[in-house]
Amino acid sequence: MTKRRLFWAQTSAGREHARRNAQHWQIRRRSAPRCKATAKSTGERCGHPAMNDREVCCWHGGLTPRGDHWLRPRWPKADTPRAEAKLNRKLQDLAKAARKREKRVAAMSPAELERYKAWRAAHQPGSKSKRTAAQEQRRNAIATAEFLSRPAAPVATSPEIAELNRLLDEAKRRAAALELEIAKFDQGIFG
Q: What residue segments make up the domains of the chain, in order of their start?
A: 1-31, 33-64
Residue 34 forms beta bridges with which residues? 49
How far from 187 is each of 164, 174, 178, 183, CA to CA, in Å? 36, 21, 15, 7
163's enclosing H/E stretch is helix 159-185
Count of other CB atoms within 10 angstroms of residue 64: 14
pLDDT for residue 108:
95
Query: Strand, coil or helix: what is 34?
Result: strand
Query: Helix, strand, coil: what percent of the chain each, to 5?
Result: 65, 0, 35
Query: CB–CB of 76/87 below 8 Å?
Result: yes
Distance CA 116, CA 31 (A): 43
Output the furthest CA–CA distance in the chain (Å, rounded): 118
> What separation in angstroms does the CA of 158 have from each of 81, 151, 165?
84, 20, 11
pLDDT in tens, the chain (191 residues): 788 888 888 899 999 999 999 999 999 888 888 888 888 888 898 888 888 777 888 888 877 777 888 888 888 888 888 999 999 999 999 999 999 999 999 999 999 999 999 888 888 888 888 888 988 999 999 999 999 888 876 666 788 888 888 999 999 999 998 888 877 776 666 65
- Taking the model in full, what pTM does it have? 0.49
Q: Is 25 exposed, middle or buried (0-12, 13-18, 19+ CB in 10 A)?
A: exposed
